[in-house]
Chains A and B, each alone.
Chain A
Amino acid sequence: MENSNSITVFLMALLASAMPMYAAPAAAAAARPVPVVRVNATNQAWDYFHPWTKHAPYSHRGLGAVLDHGEVLVTAELIQNASYVELERAESGDKVPATVEAVDYEADLALLKPADDGFLKGITPLALTDAAVGDHLAVWQLETTGALLITDALLTTVEVGRYPQEDVALLNYSLTTSLQYRDGSFTVPIAKAGRLAGLLLRYDTRSQNANAIPAAVIEHFLHDAASKNYGGFPKAGLLFAPTRDPQLRRYAKIPTMIPGGVYITDVERNSPAQEAGIKQGDVLLEIAGKSVDQDGNYIDPRHGKLSLVNLISLQTAGSDVPYKLLRDGKPLSVDVTLRHKAADAYVIPPYIVGKSPGYYVLGGLVLQELSREYLKEWGSDWQKKAPERLVYYDRYQTELFQADRKRLVILSQVLPTTDTIGYEELGSLVVTKINDVPLMSLADVPRALEHPLNGFHKIEFEENPNVIYMDARHVGEHIETLKKTYGLPDISRTE
């Protein structure tokens, strides 16, 4: 949440800029074409409160880094929910439509390809380079003339940090820099000695702190994008807590000669860690030959102390990684076959992009699946404003739901009609069954509606009023009126 806020700050500040009127220095003008292009995206997100419509379109303008194979790298946020993406040459202003070749919303990276192969002609593609704390990097922006505006940025911290999607933690650069306002700076590349060191993730104009996606993450993304199946950034599916407390160390039977280790507090159902046999209460000592200290850090040869999460997320999905643990004080070694957990593998998906939300309007009852996109419609402080029960289910979903639970179907609101008289106040209710058929996802709804009970649809909820009925024949007869009254293109959109 914090992240998306600061992103907004960045966007607003840079768009509200004044245009520089002076010409670029002659030396720069004579140079080769810059290895960045402008990227203009028109994005339109679905309205989860009215899942049959989209929000008004908005535009983002950013810079893309030109890479090998005629591809352009941008942040995924720039093209999230994009209806149209176009590339623009910095020096000439020539434009061409582009397609999204690969995208990872968790790593916040996307690869674009111009519709015209010759569009990037003359540009020397950027190679990637690693960076370390203390390095001076160059933040690249474009002047209106197309010349590069370069701002110095000091790399202050390298750590596993939060990405725009909540719950995502990947390697992250913190930079101190004083960026100027330039149009079209939603995404900007960061370079070191003419090579691509990262992509700017967010910039806070007040503190002048910036975060960037480091080359290591970009490299992982490019590697996966080039392979046939995009593997993504893997997870083991376990949660851990520090073992600094000597009382806990004694309880967990960690021998005194072992200095480190973290306590496994939770192992997700059907996760790689569970499949490998790791259990809650185990003590994790080592991953891939790197020992883990009491706080869950290891020593990285380049960056020093980093969270053990980095040992997992930067592995290739599908690889077997050796884990050393203690169970009841006795050593245990397992191989964990890491894999990425897709957003739609969650009961309440943490994000949905590029997919229209499903819904079913039953005589005026709006049924849809609970997702974080839905909760986020309550605004930036959705965690306080959205219905508490639904927020609670989202936050503790791995703890609360059984393995067979696919999705939660909710009655999100009631459109008043002759069929919903007396039901107007209902909303934010989890629907458990329709016509005695348990609902595991929205796809079960049309099937359940095929067999009304004695001419009625019986709809059951998790809480008050527990059950309501609709007249199946009336609901069927009133479909056209309902569509017309509320401007619904269709009464349902299910897979």
Chain B
Amino acid sequence: MRFSTLRVSLAFLLLPARLLLADVHPTPPSAASTPAIPVPAIHRSLARITTTSQDPNYREPWAAGTISGGVGTGFIIDGERILTNAHVVSNARFLTVEKEDDPRKYTAKVQFIGHDCDLAVLKVNEPGFFNNTVPLDLGNIPEIESTVAAYGYPVGGDRMSVTEGIVSRIDFQTYTHSLVDSHLAIQISAAINPGNSGGPVLQHGKVVGVAFQGYSGDVAQNVGYMIPVPVIERFLKDISDGHYDKYMDLSIATFPLQNPAMRRALGLADDDRGVMVSTVAAEGCSDGVLKPGDVLMSIDGHEIASDGFTVLDGARVEMVEVVERKFKGDSVKLHIIRNRQEMDVTVPLDAAWPYLMQANTYDAAPRYVLYGGLLFQPLSRNFIEAYDIEDLRVRFFYDFFLQDELYKEHPEVIVLSAVLPDPTNTYLNDFKNGVVDEINGEKVRTLDDLANGFRKQADQYVIKMIGAGRPLVLDRAAAEAARERIDERYNVVKEQNLRD
């Protein structure tokens, strides 16, 4: 439930779970790992993935980006495919896969990638890779305390490694790859280290999870997380129509109903059931169906407890788990109490969560407009992190974008992020970090609006910033004359990018 877990994901930043993609130059090994349980044919199902990626630089959005590399793990599933983590192959420019006992490096490409669930499916370009390989089958959610083994290519050596542990906890966790998504995750005590990412965790010869994140040793020990089978199955089913539609979301925030007075005030029985809808995001799936103040009593027939949990397959899980297992185009039936009247409503899961501005973004070129040496960019997590923004207004627009429904007026929050010094903008540096509201009297709701504004003929461009009484004024003739000069001086190869 992306909407209501925002605070959780922010808190998570303080204790960052580390993704397990190994650096190409690993630190020396501390101890060799020895196989803990017999591994008859597992090496015939594993793939060592070497990624060359290029991460865009949001401070220089016209540049191609920094090239880096990493090693991760993948495993073979039916249909001559390799399953791995999205973060192993994000922003990839070139991929090679290798098998144990085969000297050849095969090139591969990403067929499907789900950044919200941190999973990806690869296809191998050259024939022959899948000869003598064994696709792995998916199992179920393992029992707490049962033993599992993680396989992969973590730091400490070049060959396959296996570690053993038990299932410690089954819970919702923030998926750090996107940082705004929370799904079911299973904590295991097996050592999983950088490079384990994307590797299978097996029990009784079947995959029970994909190793994907953990804590660094100075935060917590023997804590590793794997993506469990329901999430993997959902991803594989979602892509079976040739397109990944992402997770669906009710786009609401709820409040637990544990206070006896509150229950009585809302006319509820003393039966520990129901949560109150506190916010319905405008333009989200529940917009027009649910209202703030509605009490959600059951979801698809599963009773909702007053703390927001429900029982699914005999296990107590957050009620959103019901939505988690659905797909775009499905719907959710809710039994609610509105103004003391019981009723049934259906939420169609048709609107994709459009406001991913707070999520880490991958495989996308930064959007920007550069004009007169002024760089305008839409607010996003990548942007905030690249500039390490401390400006209070920009931070507020970022942090309260959803809560205060700032997206209604500004689907994209356009920030003047940098001023490349030139005689045309000598006195404009004070406007840095300003949030654009209007250009020549026209509202700027998106970056395209701003780009269109600069395309129009005008003597001067007058840009109004939110909360600034002084407009930013740019003489068009001077700015046009400066274009070539600025591009050359700052090595700007492209003045704008409006596409993702």
Residues of A within 8 A of B (CB): 239, 241-242, 244-245, 247-248, 250-251, 263-266, 280-281, 383-384, 388-389, 391-392, 395-396, 399, 419-423, 454, 456, 458, 463-471, 474
Contact = CB atoms under 8 A, between A and B. Distances in A.
B399 to A, nearest CB: 6
B473 interface: yes
B395 A388 contact: yes
B279 to A, nearest CB: 6
A250 B473 contact: yes
Interface in B260-292: 260-262, 264-266, 276, 278-279, 292
B460 A250 contact: yes
A264 B460 contact: no
A247 B428 CA distance: 10
Interface in B452-490: 460, 462, 467-471, 473-475, 478
A454 B266 CA distance: 11
B355 interface: no
Contact of A422 (B258, B292, B467): B258
B379 interface: no
B261 A474 contact: yes
Interface stretch (B103-111, B215-223, B249-257, B309-317): B249-257
A147 to B, nearest CB: 50
B32 interface: no
Contacts, number: 102
Given A245-B428, A465-B255, A392 B260 contact: no
Contact of B403 (A281, A463, A470): A463
Contacts of B403: 463-464
Interface in B362-421: 390, 392-393, 395-396, 399-400, 403-404
26 contacts: A242-B427, A244-B427, A245-B427, A245-B428, A248-B427, A251-B473, A265-B468, A265-B469, A383-B392, A388-B400, A399-B467, A420-B259, A421-B258, A422-B258, A463-B279, A463-B404, A464-B278, A464-B279, A465-B276, A466-B279, A466-B293, A468-B255, A468-B259, A471-B260, A471-B264, A471-B265
A263 B470 contact: yes
Contacts of A396: 393, 467
A239 B469 CA distance: 9
A244 to B, nearest CB: 5
A304 B395 CA distance: 40
Interface of B: 253, 255-262, 264-266, 276, 278-279, 292-293, 390, 392-393, 395-396, 399-400, 403-404, 426-428, 430, 460, 462, 467-471, 473-475, 478
B287 to A, nearest CB: 16
B279 A251 contact: no
Contacts of B264: 456, 469, 471
Contacts of B279: 463-464, 466
A464 B261 CA distance: 18
Contacts of A383: 392
Nearest to B478: A247
Contacts of A422: 256-259, 262
Nearest to A463: B403
Contact of B474 (A247, A264, A392, A395): A247
Contact of A388 (B260, B396, B478): B396
Contacts of B257: 422
With most chain A CB atoms within 10 A of its CB, the pick from B257, B259, B264, B395 is B259
Nearest to B468: A265
A399 B259 CA distance: 37
Contacts of A467: 278, 293
Contacts of B460: 247, 250-251
B479 to A, nearest CB: 9
Contacts of A464: 253, 255, 278-279, 403
B396 A392 contact: yes
Given A423-B259, A464-B278, A469-B266, A266 B469 contact: yes
A241 B399 contact: no
B469 A280 contact: yes
Given A248-B427, A388-B396, A471 B261 contact: yes
Given A419-B261, A422-B258, 13 more contacts: A241-B430, A241-B470, A245-B473, A250-B460, A388-B392, A392-B392, A392-B393, A395-B392, A422-B257, A456-B264, A463-B403, A464-B253, A464-B255
B426 A388 contact: no
A283 B325 CA distance: 62
B110 to A, nearest CB: 37
Given A399-B467, A469-B266, A248 B473 contact: yes
A466 B261 contact: no
Which 3 A-B residue pairs are closest in the complex by CB-CB distance? A265-B469, A422-B258, A245-B427
Nearest to B292: A466
A89 B253 CA distance: 66
Contacts of B393: 392, 396
B313 to A, nearest CB: 28
Contacts of B469: 239, 241, 263-266, 280-281
With most chain A CB atoms within 10 A of its CB, the pick from B253, B278, B400 is B278
B270 to A, nearest CB: 13
A263 to B, nearest CB: 5
Contacts of B430: 241
Nearest to A454: B265
B98 to A, nearest CB: 48
Nearest to A467: B293
Nearest to B404: A463
Nearest to B258: A422
Contacts of A281: 469
B400 A389 contact: yes
Contact of A470 (B255, B261, B292): B261
A242 to B, nearest CB: 8
A474 B474 CA distance: 64
A421 B265 contact: no
